[in-house]
């Protein structure tokens, strides 16, 4: 198993544009979480999806949205990009809904640069 | 609100020396705490969690509710321990991470 995969690995966009990031969880995992990691900071929670439903949302504006597909893969969309959206976006999957007993497995991330 | 503080951005120790990475938290309920590690060019991965009370790669962490701390310790540092370490607390169905400590073990 390749583990959690994310695409693309790198992305350059300009302010005002829209971006879609993709994540494939480990086979059999039903929960996907998204995190934003700005340079020099720890990951910050954006969304959790479980069984195609949003189960948690962090303190991010409505420009950020996500969805989970029937095969449990997920997309993160960011509209009207700002310079401050430049970050590493991490996806993590867990077998069931991420509660304290579950283990999250992280992907390699997508590095987004907004110019 | 949940909050994790890692006061040291950088920490250097000599091989064979003890190492302690500090983590303090604030949380209104009963906390569940974790340490994550990211080795060079690798993914972020779970190192250990409070609830399992296990020792991984020689590392241990004890929850001190009085001092609201969850420091990560290892008695004898190895070169392969050089990495970025993040303390995290579970709350509201997700993890809140600290800013991380970069540990460098000097040969």
Instruction: Report yes or no: A106 and A2 within 8 Å, Cβ to Cβ.
Output: no
Phi/psi of residue B50, each to 5°?
A: -60, -40
Query: Residue B94's pLDDT band (boundaries 50, 70, 90)?
Result: confident
pLDDT at A1: 63
Measured distance CA(A57)–CA(A84) in Å, rounded:
19
SS3 assignment, position B79? helix
Of B53, B55, B78, which is closest to residue B63 (Cα–Cα)?
B53
Give the Cα separation of A93 and A71 in Å (integer): 13
CA distance B9 to chain A (A): 9
Give me the residue from B43, B45, B100 closest to A42, CB to CB: B100
> Residue A66's closest CA among A84, A82, A99, A90?
A90
Longest dimension (CA), chain A: 40
Cα–Cα distance list, B76 to A43, B34, B35, B70, B106 (Å) = 28, 21, 18, 19, 12
pLDDT in tens, A12-44: 999 999 999 999 999 999 999 999 999 989 999
Quote the CA–CA distance of B71 and A78 in Å, as a whole number.
Answer: 36
pLDDT of residue B90: 87
- pLDDT above 90 for B104: yes
* Calculated CA dihedral for residues A89, B21, B71, B81, nearest 10 degrees: 80
Query: Which chain B residue has its CA at the smallest distance from A6's CA?
Result: B43
Q: Return the number of CB contacts < 8 Å for A and B.
A: 49
Query: What is the pLDDT of chain B when averaged over all its residues?
Result: 91
* B52 DSSP 8-state letter: G
Average confidence (pLDDT) over A95-105: 78
B45 touches chain A (CB under 8 A): yes
d(CA A83, CA A64): 14
B96 and A CB contact within 8 Å? yes
Under an 8 Å CB criterion, which residues of A touch B?
A: 3-4, 33, 35, 40-45, 48, 55-56, 58, 90, 97-101, 103-109
Q: Scan for tokens 């994790």, then name that residue.
A: B4
DSSP one-letter code for B88: E
pLDDT score, position A100 = 64
Task: Give the lowest-confidence range in A13-22, A23-32, A99-108, B16-25.
Answer: A99-108
Dump pLDDT digits (tens) for B56-91.
Answer: 899 999 888 889 999 999 999 999 999 999 999 987
């Amino acid at each position: 198993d390749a583990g959690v995969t994310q695409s693309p690995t790198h992305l350059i966009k300009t302010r005002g544009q829209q971006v879609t990031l993709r994540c494939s969880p480990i086979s059999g995992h039903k929960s996907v979480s998204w995190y934003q990691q700005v340079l020099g900071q720890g990951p910050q929670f954006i969304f959790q999806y479980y069984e195609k439903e949003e189960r948690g949302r962090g303190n991010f504006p409505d420009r950020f949205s996500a969805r989970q597909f029937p095969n449990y893969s997920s997309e993160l969309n960011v509209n009207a990009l700002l310079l401050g959206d430049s970050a590493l976006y991490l996806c993590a999957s867990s077998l069931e809904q991420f509660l304290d007993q579950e283990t999250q497995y992280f992907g390699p991330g997508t590095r987004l640069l907004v110019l | 609100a949940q909050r994790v503080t890692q006061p040291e951005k950088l920490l250097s120790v000599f091989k064979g020396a003890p190492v302690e990475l500090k983590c303090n938290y604030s949380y209104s309920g009963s906390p569940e705490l974790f340490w994550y590690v990211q080795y060079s060019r690798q993914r972020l991965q779970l190192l250990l969690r409070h609830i399992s009370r296990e020792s991984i790669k020689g590392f241990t962490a004890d929850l001190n509710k009085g001092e609201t701390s969850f420091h990560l310790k290892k008695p004898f540092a190895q070169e392969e321990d050089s990495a970025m370490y993040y303390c995290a607390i579970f709350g509201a169905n997700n993890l809140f991470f600290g800013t991380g400590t970069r540990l460098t073990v000097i040969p």
